[in-house]
Structure 1
Amino acid sequence: MATSLHETVLIGICDGVIDQKKTTSYCTNKTGDRPDLLPVISLQHPTCALCRRGLSQVVQIYCPLAASQYHRTIHVFACTSPQCSGKSESWTVLRSQCLVDDIKSRQNNKTTACADSAMSRTDWCDEADDWGMDDAQQVEESAIQMPDDSTGEGNDVSSRLQDLCIDGDHQSGLQPTDVPVFQAFYISVMEETDLDGFRDTDHEDELLREYEEREGVKVREIQRYSWAGSPLLIAEPRPSVSQTVPVCAHCGSPRVFEFQLMPALVSLLGSADPDSDVCLEFGTVLVFTCRNSCWKSGSTAPVEEFLVVQPDPDQKLFKS
């Protein structure tokens, strides 16, 4: 599906393996690993609606809205059971928020450390070729900020505050240690219109070749972000995606497309445990979130949002 002329699209690419000795936070954009929670959030680990196994984190995205008073992080989880592969019911997307002032208060008390999200879009990829940043740099430079919304619909995110709760059917007493963990990679972000230029420079091409040889992966788009934009579909479903996305269960507002996971991510989702052989198959995953990003002040539970999994059309060819 083509995007509109006024649509800002951000692309996430793999930006190096996260050293297990490195400390990440809710500001870190990453694939795999265990979720980093906002300091006010408590999470009962989600389980698969089909087989009841614990879900593994696929991506963690820090994505505060423009002019918002909230930090905002989205976690996407999936079941690694082969029987559940490619089914939307085996995935879960959770949105967590926390007032910026609450974080500042904790920083003043030296109980947590995370940079403010007051970065411009042009700052997101500064020095993106310097793989292997230290912890402080990574926290500061890994933030994704919300694209500007020319309609203004996304700016007043606190206008509707409703009671929120997470669906108990998807929660359990599981501990994070009970579920498989995918290897962790940093996600670096750039505008889609800059991607070709980034790849075409001799300096960047050499850096990319060195990185690919060192890490054994090909640098390709693993995530596509366009709040209230248009997703790219592998196949047009019947009924259409716009007809199947429900309104927000908490405030009744429409949900809008926020980002999608691209097929190239599949090759990165190997197990963090060398003795384990887990994998995940999909074509693309479309994530839709509340247009108002509604949140009740003082809430400690993530909000479940909506996603659609489109399987790889060729996946059925490899099944017996």
Structure 2
Amino acid sequence: MASPAQESTLVGLCDGEIDPRRHRCSFLTNKVGGLPDWPPHVCPPPPRCARCGAPLTHVVQVYCPLGGSPYHRNLHLFACPRAACSGRADGWKVLRSQSLEEAPSRPDPAQEAPRPATDWCDSADDWGVEEEEEGWGAGGGVEEAAAPQTHEDPLDLEVSRLQDLCLAPPPRPEAPPSQPEAPVLRAYFVCVVEESDLCGEEDADLRRAQRLLREYEKREGGVTTAGDAQDGGEEKYEKTRARHGDAVFSGFMKRISLCPQQVLRYCRGGQPLCVSSPPGAAPPPCPSCGGGRTFELQLMPALVALLRWTDGGGGEAEPEFGTVLVYTCQSSCWAGSVLEEFCSVQNDPDQQLFN
């Protein structure tokens, strides 16, 4: 999910569940749930809830390099698995990681090509067998004195000696993989499309009519409806409040009605789509460079329906929210370690509409 050169909104959609037996993910994968895939040479400690100290569950991984930057760039969002924390900003954490694109390695010209399998027995010098045989003693050694007088093939005798050699210590049995501390959510791929591509050209007139209606409602300060003709056929208009009494939520619903199943929205440097009153204060500055932060992405209500624990999960309740707004360092500074960014959580005033 590369950052667009201009202010255009990218929309993330669920693109099927990830089967670990068939699919292999990396830091280049956009996904929901599962375990985080960190870039090379990046391995931060598991994050913990700032409110209760519990290990956080991985919710979303987004690959979002910036245009003209030599860095790979990822955002990982985590949430507390405890019900009392999932709807609070201090129960969430956003980590940004970056890594330089590595140039493809070139083979060392001084390194010889590996010998074909048919040449392994042509010369025992490559395996150190000649020196070993001299140590045993030629003509009257212990091995020759104890050897029975048989008509074995000399090649078979040489193979039996090679079987006694130990070129490397036996491999240690691999330890079973450690279990994650936090419960794990079921993993899904996320595909990315431009919001403008969600409608065809045939819907252009409809979009224009909706835009004119929104402008009219904004100018008039409410929603106008035509009443019955009364008092000599004169039309009667009345102003009604938006559904749920919340004009912001009504605008939110209208905007996502084009694609209600979207699970995230990405528009670095754009404006967030708020489900309730926008945050009054600006996000705090970047703790690393002191610069300002800018809006980058948000999680959408449709994502809540996908957040389900894997078998034997153990979390109290899956995370619930209206939208999670993510703000990141405007200059995307990088000092070689994972940086925590800022997020704001808005609760959904009517969650059942998205189920």
Q: TM-score, normalised by structure 1?
A: 0.64
- CA 1:197–1:220: 2 relative to 1, 3 Å: farther
In structure 2, C-alpha distance between the alignment counterparts of 1:263 and 1:20, rounded to whole Å: 26
In structure 2, what is the equivalent of residue 236 of structure 1? Answer: 277
Distance in 1 between residues matched to 2:80 and 2:349, nearest whole Å: 19
Runs of 4+ in 1 over 3 A off after TM superposition: 274-278
1:288 aligns with 2:327: yes
**Equivalent residues of 2:86, 2:92 under 8 A apart:** no
Cα gap change, 1:290 to 1:275, in 2 (>3 Å):
closer
Q: Give the distance between the partners of 1:54 and 1:95, measured in 2 at CA.
A: 18
**What is the match of residue 248 of structure 1?**
286
**Matching residue of 1:193:** 196
Partner SS state of residue 200, structure 2 = helix
1:274 positional shift? 5.5
Distance 1:66 1:53 in 2: 36
- Deviation sequence 1:274-299 (CA, Å, 0-9, x none): 56564111000000000100012xx2
Counterpart Cα distance in 2 of 1:38 and 1:259: 20
Q: Which residue of 2 aligns with 1:222?
A: 263
Letter in 1 for 2:284: P
Instruction: Select between 34-43 and 276-285 the one with higher mean Cα deviation.
Output: 276-285
Match of 1:313 in 2: 349
Aligned-residue identity in percent: 46
Residues 8 and 274 of structure 1: is their aligned pair in 2 closer, same or farther, counting only changes over 3 Å?
A: same
CA distance in structure 2 between the aligned counterparts of 1:310 and 1:91, rounded to whole angstroms = 12
The 1:176–1:302 alpha-carbon spacing in structure 2 relative to 1, beyond 3 Å, is farther
Q: Which residue of 2 aligns with 1:23?
A: 24
Deviation, 1:84, is 0.9
Q: Which runs of 5+ in 2 are unaligned?
A: 1-5, 108-177, 204-258
Deviation at 1:193, TM superposition (A): 0.5
Q: How many Å separate the matches in 1 of 2:55 and 2:93?
A: 11
Q: Distance in 2 between matches of 1:104 and 1:292?
A: 24
Secondary structure class of the residue paired with 1:183:
coil
1:23-102 alignment, distance < 5 Å: 23-100=24-101
Structure 1 residues 295, 108: closer, same or farther in 2, change over 3 A? farther
Q: Tell me the distance in 2 between the aligned counterparts of 1:13 and 1:273.
A: 24
Distance 1:108 1:81 in 2: 49
After TM superposition, give the deviation of residue 7 of structure 1 in Å. 2.5
Q: Give the secondary-structure state (helix, strand or coil) at the position aligned to 2:103.
A: helix
8 Å CA contact retained: 1:45, 1:176: no
1:104 paired residue number? 103
**Separation (CA, whole Å) in 2 of partners of 1:246 and 1:309:** 15
1:127-155 alpha-carbon deviations (Å, 9 max, x no partner): xxxxxxxxxxxxxxxxxxxxxxxxxxxxx
> Given the superposition, is the C-alpha separation of residues 252 and 176 from structure 1 closer, same or farther in structure 2, using an over 3 Å criterion?
farther
In the superposition, the TM-score normalised over structure 2's length comes to 0.58
Q: Is the 8 A contact 2:272 2:295 kept in 1?
A: yes
1:32 and 1:58 in contact (8 A); partners too: yes
1:183 aligns with 2:186: yes
Deviation track 1:167-188 (CA, whole Å, cap 9, x = no partner) reads: xxxxxxxx76111111000000
| Cα RMSD after superposing both structures | 2.4
Q: Secondary structure at the match of 1:193?
A: helix
Q: Is the 8 A contact 2:183 2:313 kept in 1?
A: no
Shift of 1:219: 7.6
For 1:280 and 1:46, how far apart are their aligned partners in 2?
16
Look at both structures and tell me which one has the larger radius of gyration over its CA atoms: 2
Residue 236 (structure 1) shift:
1.1
The AA in structure 1 aligned to 2:20 is: Q
Q: Distance in 2 between matches of 1:183 and 1:8?
A: 30
Structure 2: distance between partners of 1:108 and 1:14: 39
Partners of 1:50 and 1:89 within 8 A in 2: yes
Q: 1:257 aligns with which of 286, 295, 301?
A: 295
Q: CA deviation at 1:83?
A: 1.0
SS at match of 1:89: helix
The one of the two structures with greater contact order (alpha-carbon pairs below 8 A, sep at least 6) is: 1
SS in 2 for 1:309: strand
**AA in 1 matched with 2:345:** V
Unaligned runs of at least 5 residues, structure 1: 1-5, 110-174, 201-217
What is the CA–CA distance in structure 1 between the aligned matches of 2:286 and 2:349, rounded to whole Å?
30
